[in-house]
């Protein structure tokens, strides 16, 4: 079953892909680029792809760290929370469900 969050993500990726394909098709039809330049990566594109891969790696590390913290019963500030505590005694944040 697809939830609302996944559907939003799929729609975002689909709209982004269609926009890029549409722009490239328009650019190709108007003679601004050739088929060879459409399939090659320029220096800014390589930098952009590298930055996206780096951001994706950071996101994965942050999510894995967050899951580990939740599993261990830790607050975001690093305080270990006992099972009966609803709030962190150090930073005052509410315990995540």
- Which residues here bind Zn ion, judged by CB under 5 A? 75, 77, 79, 88, 90-91, 93
Chain CA centroid to CA 60, Å: 8
Task: Give the integer Cα–Cα distance in Å for 79 and 90.
Answer: 7
Task: Give the shortest CB-72-to-Zn ion separation in angstroms.
Answer: 13
Bridge partners, residue 94, by sequence:
87
Task: Give the shortest CB-95-to-Zn ion separation in angstroms.
Answer: 9
Distance between start and end Cα atoms, the chain: 23
Q: Which is nearer to Zn ion, 33 or 73 (CB)?
A: 73
Q: Which is nearer to Zn ion, 18 or 91 (CB)?
A: 91
Q: Which is nearer to Zn ion, 22 or 89 (CB)?
A: 89
Task: Give the integer Cα–Cα distance in Å for 41 and 81.
Answer: 49
Task: Give the shortest CB-61-to-Zn ion separation in angstroms.
Answer: 20
């Amino acid at each position: 079953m697809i939830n609302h969050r996944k559907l939003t993500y799929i729609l975002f990726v689909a709209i982004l892909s269609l926009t890029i394909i549409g722009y490239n098709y328009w650019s190709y039809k108007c003679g601004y680029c050739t088929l060879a330049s459409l399939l090659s990566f320029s220096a800014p594109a390589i930098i952009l792809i590298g930055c996206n891969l780096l951001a994706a790696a950071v996101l994965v590390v942050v999510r894995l760290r967050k899951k580990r913290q939740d599993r261990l019963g830790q607050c975001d500030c690093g305080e270990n929370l006992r099972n009966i505590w609803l709030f962190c005694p150090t930073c005052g944040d509410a315990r995540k469900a």
